Amino acid sequence: MRMRCKPFFVVSAFLAGLCLAACTPADPGVPAPVVAPAPEKPVVAAALPSPASQAALQHYAKVQADLLARGLMRTDSGTIDAPFTDRMLADNFVRVALYDEYIRSDQGLVAQPVQSRLRRWDQPVRVSLRFGESVPTDRQATDRARIASFLGRLQAISGHPIRLSEAQPNFFIYVVNEDERQALGPRINALLPGLDAADVAGITEMPRGTYCLVYAISSGTGSTYTKAFAVIRAEHPDLMRLSCLQEEITQGLGLANDSPVARPSIFNDDEEFALLTPMDELMLKMLYNPLLTPGMTEAEARPIINALATSLMGGAS
């Protein structure tokens, strides 16, 4: 069984009572402001990392070293050796934005591609970044700076407001080690009331082969996201950590699926690319184009998608 680099979950949960708020997209040319977070009691860990956490630290260091030795986890754009056309862009957008990677079953979430509807945020995305006690302060500062910069990039690409903020946050990112993640149950239930026990266990009992994940939540049967919750393993070495952050945040915005044919793209389980690529940026730009609306099916959206892809690629085919 091939190890997957950055599995995730995107859940349309049936949560009644969450209100949807309309928003006006920000000017893409205006950098996203960074709001200093309010002090928060950190996720409490044991005085020393458990043997499981220490083993995870060694394991993921070996995984990253192996991927890099095989020429994977690339940080270049990929456009030299993997050029793409408007048709390829449109097809990949459909696979990534209009399909889910998981379905629900009696055993929880099962990996199986299934056709879905277009989903994204309508309200501003306010990201709360929270660390376990196991994360050193200098590492926290680096992560915070990287994420703030990346959110500004995503806002410029999508035209949708997204920034670090502790003022009524709706997108939560936890960077925690093995011990801290296992203790997250009460925090998850408080932030995402109504999430079922199997989904909570998907985080607290996250298997070693799952490197990071995100839950994106919509209200009722709607297609507009209202909350998201991402978990990043603190044991990851630098590049895997950054890769997880970029993919999970972007997938939590609505690029929900992975596709084996999307290239060059981070939304591909072959681990070839570690960071967001130009194709990924174009897909995000398409997702938040006002011509597309949440809830659209592939049949409804396909003509618009094709036209957008042609426009963005300057008529390439």
pLDDT tens digits for 120-139?
999 999 999 999 999 999 99
Beta carbons of 251 and 269 less than 8 angstroms apart? no
* pLDDT at residue 220, rounded to an integer: 80
* pLDDT at residue 22, rounded to an integer: 28
User: At 221, is the pLDDT very low, low, confident or very high (cuts 50, 70, 90)?
Assistant: confident
* pLDDT at residue 39, rounded to an integer: 47
pLDDT tens digits for 268-314?
989 999 999 999 999 999 999 999 999 999 999 999 999 999 999 98
DSSP calls for 167-202? SS--EEEEEE-HHHHHT-HHHHHHHSTT--HHHHHH
Residues facing residue 174 across a β-bridge:
130, 231
Q: What is the mean pLDDT of the chain?
A: 86
The whole-model pTM stands at 0.84
* pLDDT at residue 43, rounded to an integer: 56
User: At 316, is the pLDDT very low, low, confident or very high (cuts 50, 70, 90)?
Assistant: low
Q: Which two tokens stand for residue 221?
A: 């049967």
DSSP calls for 280-317? HHHHHHHHT-TTS-TT--HHHHHHHHHHHHHHHTTT--
* pLDDT at residue 219, rounded to an integer: 84
Instruction: Give the CA angle between residues 156, 161, 166 to the nearest 5°.
Output: 125
What's the fold here for domain 96-312? Collagenase (Catalytic Domain) (3.40.390)
